[in-house]
Structure 1
Amino acid sequence: MTTHTPLDLAALGEDFARDPYPVYERLRTEGPVHRVWMPEGAEVWLVVGYEEARAALTDPRLSKQWSNAAESFPIKSPSGSHMMNSDMPQHTRLRKLVAREFTSRRIEALRPRVQEICDALLSQMLAAPEGRADLVDSFSFPLPMSVICELLGVPFLDQAEVRRWADAAISSQDPVERAAAAADAARFIATLVEQKRTRPGADLLSALIRTVDEEGDRLSVDELMGTVFLLIVAGHETTTNLIGNGVHALLTHPDQLSLLRSDFSLMDAAVEEMLRYDGAVESATFRFATESFELGGRFITAGEAVMVDLNAANRDAARFATPDRFDIRRSTAGHVAFGHGIHHCLGAPLARMEARIAIRSLLEHCPDLALDLSAPAVRWRHGILVRGPHHLPIRFAAN
């Protein structure tokens, strides 16, 4: 493998989607930063080293604002203004307004309901014939989507519809399909916001609509729309993939599964290792150089795009010993699965809580849980923004 010619990630196919880590390791042997072709057709700098990833995530010369992208950059700016595509001081302003309502108290109040939803979904799943099911369709997707419904105060989101446009907006390599998904999302969210304007409640969406800070500042319509999109997509994508990836790791490492079953006090550490070992968010979203500078021995030109591969950074042997070993007793301090710096994921506490409850409940309800080896091989999502299986066939009844 050479880094003189940009590596075409799309050309790596299913093998890369299934297991990208050997590619990242080979790249790291040549350096921490490389020029690559994205599946979406853009040429970017990809950061695969841990120290360089942390540095890039906090470097003020790398902007999240699409106005700093070079004119030749082929991917269009997403619609909506929110925390993930803004810099300081705008980012500070938006995060402050959202954090006023997205509080730890509001999240913690959801704990009993998360458990209730888990139990109901698992009861339905366990009724499946022949003791087999798809974990994604039966559990890891509907759980966080139901929790987002509870949080936003929406009686029921059309889950199939949301899944369709969210998957396309995040993972599609077709720009036309991505644009159509963005338009569908905008219409869907506009309807939700209008419903809450006319019938407000004690929920997060109603609070975001009416929240005003000490200086009288509030979210504009565009900012509100962008924030709701972020909450819906990030709120279910992150947790769906965290549960799917985590369960897959456990089922392919029976020694670690047995260890966790014998001592559920290891659950918090296990979830952190799941995040480090095979995180739900493959890469942070685009950053654009506002000036030319050097990063990891490579010269980044103003306007060029940089992607920080969080999962690659978390497998860097310079930071984590034997990084390709899944070990729920290891120290995971410093992992960057939820980012680093001012853009560290605001929803990380909710994702962690859901994953801890979900995985423990699954293991308690399913003492014979295993991968369904009679089903087709697990297919993984393409692209390097999110990581997770499309489906995860499991069996939960002993043969």
Structure 2
Amino acid sequence: MKKLYFFLIPALFFACSSQPEMAEEEPTVWFKGNTHAHTVVCGHADTSPDSVALWYLERDYNFLILSEHNNFIDPDSVNLPAGHRTDFILVPGEEVTGRQAIHTTGMNVQHYVEGQPSYPYDASLSADDPNLPPETKTSVIQQHTDSVLHAGGLPILNHPNFVSGAQVGDIRPVKRLHLFELYNGHPAVYNFGNEQHIAVEAKWDSLLTSGMLILGVSSDDAHQFQTWSEDVSNPGRGWVMVDSEGELTPDAITQAMARGNFYATNGVMLAEVHHSADRYVIQIDTNWTRQAMESPYIIGKKTTEGTTGFKVEFFGDGGALLHTSTDLQIDFPIDYEGGYVRGKVSFTRQLADGQFETFYAWTQPRFLDERAGMLDNNEVWSPNHDHDHEHGHDH
């Protein structure tokens, strides 16, 4: 695949920053990963588990979840080339698939998790259909969440803007759910909103403002590796960058994400993200972003008007904009009495046809209430596989 675009990017935005240097800290070791990818096992993707894993291995990812619809792929069953680089792992997982377009990734589950026989999704079915048992979207999400946790995994609610999806009122009552897909690279997932859905980012702010502890994940939800087009679900469109303090194991990566030590992106790359009760620090990695922009796989948000370059924004309760900057290094003082502050970094380039294309990195909220203690005390998820040692079966 090769996009036939020429990009007009002012060099100054990829030049070394002239901003004052921050205090010296040990550079963060970021691990790049995708939590959502499919293979022929699901019946509607086009590539084997071995070859899907190889695609990510060859493109400098550090971890991958083969998250099949109601199927568990044991990582030990996947064949990787002999002598492959050691900084790549497969994290066990499954896309637990339910009715009403509710799908949940079970990250690091230890075995198969029972879903509901509903795929391919039949858009004609609804909660009022007499052929369906009484249920709500909330109850489906809750069942997925509890089942994933029981299997030793971390639940991630997938693509809330897919088909009828999940609205804020469906998600808010769910207990023990703390991650969802803020960005999903599938073309049928309307991350930025459509006639049925508000933008997922607006849903995130509503959930955060209501008091929910929920973190934002980015994935590509890849299905097609043989056909390349913006209209099919190709790989390489969304991923997470995880700070697990240099430890690359399924438990360490999962624990780091459960604590919010990661950012979500579809192209913008960061060198550092730190926050405390009174400061929020973001440093953009211009070289790494330039490399990401050279990828033929990424797709940004296209608009007819825009301003090229980087922008950093901080948001608080209700999605209120607290601060905007075009600096490449930001040390933002948190002087705010709300419940959270989160960051978003955007990069906009102009295409040869005159359109503008914007890519993002979303950093996790710094909570300013009791939710901060839940993250600090590992109350979202901790490795505990003692009750379920057996590897699950394919189903």
Q: TM-score range by the shorter chain?
A: under 0.3
Q: Which has the higher contact order (CA 8 A, sep 6+)?
A: 1
Q: Between Structure 1 and Structure 2, which shows a larger proportion of helix residues?
A: 1
How does the TM-score come out when normalised to structure 1?
A: 0.24
Q: Between Structure 1 and Structure 2, which shows a larger proportion of strand residues?
A: 2
